[in-house]
Structure 1
Amino acid sequence: MAQIPAGTGHSGQLTRKQTGDAWELQARRWLERKGLRFIAANIHGRGGEIDLIMQDGPTIVFIEVRYRQSSQYGGAAASVTRAKQQKLLHTAQLWLARHNGSFDTVDCRFDVVAFTPNAIEWFKNAFGEDA
């Protein structure tokens, strides 16, 4: 697994945003090697943000990227709570509407890419409209 670059901050630590951006870039590159095509990153909507939007064949994939140092509180994938899912769904609806689409007209899914110190887990179709 690639190393996250050292920060240039006061104590050599990356900011939360820098750390998140680094993991999202790593997820993007990993998914591209799996055959997905990049569309957009860090899409903001009222109350939410989608880390990555990619295309898997005919399917638009909204991706949440998570990293956890430890699984003590359920791990990276478990950190995508029902409330977070609702925010992602809402932001995806707004993005689709801006691109003349909707959940009814566009084949899409919601994936989670979860990083742990020793592995990458890809949860395809992790949740959906009925979340």
Structure 2
Amino acid sequence: MPQGSRQQSGQDAEAQALRHLEQQGLRLLARNWLCKRGELDLVMLDGDTVVFVEVRYRQHTQWGGALGSIDARKRQKLILAAQLFLQRESRWSSYPCRFDVVAIDGAPGTTTHLNWLRNAFDS
């Protein structure tokens, strides 16, 4: 798959995840928040909890699919980025936090499977 269409699929998956989470009552704080340590796909508020959401999309489910693509190195990058977010956005630093994953499997234009895993890992 060419890089451009891969990026578009990722953006579509992020938009789908955002819609789903907003329908569940979460509120968007930041999208594609960048820092030198990485990127946070979605930062949302669930009640009084700051939720760092990693969105993973895989067209094919071999090799573990979207959920299986989050290894220890990726988790560590997310934790570091979240720490930087809380330092820079200090108004959220005293709130409880959690890491969620939204995994989306399926080819564009077909039925996709969205799996929202709350509290997917600890910092």
1:101 shift after superposition: 5.9
Unaligned stretches of 5+ residues in structure 1: 1-11
Structure with the greater alpha carbon radius of gyration = 1
**Matching residue of 1:8:** none
1:113 to 94, 99, 102: 102
From 38, 46, 60, the counterpart of 1:70: 60
Gaps spanning 5+ residues in structure 2: where?
Answer: 107-111
Contact 2:50 2:92 in 1 (8 A): no
Give the total of aligned pairs.
Answer: 117
SS of residue matched to 1:31: helix
How far apart are 1:45 and its partner, in Å?
1.5
Q: State the alpha-carbon separation in 2 of the partners of residues 37 and 102 from structure 1.
A: 14
Q: Which has the higher helix share?
A: 2
Cα RMSD for the two superposed structures: 1.9
Using the TM superposition, name which of 60-69 and 17-26 deviates more: 17-26
Identity %: 48
Which gives a bigger RCO, structure 1 or 2 (Cα 8 Å, sep 6+)? 2
SS in 1 for 2:30: strand
TM-score, normalised to structure 1, is 0.81
Equivalent in 25, 42, 52 of residue 35 of structure 1: 25
Decide which moves more: 66-75 or 80-89.
Answer: 66-75
Q: Which runs of 4+ in 1 moved over 4 A?
A: none
CA shift, 1:67, in A, is 1.1
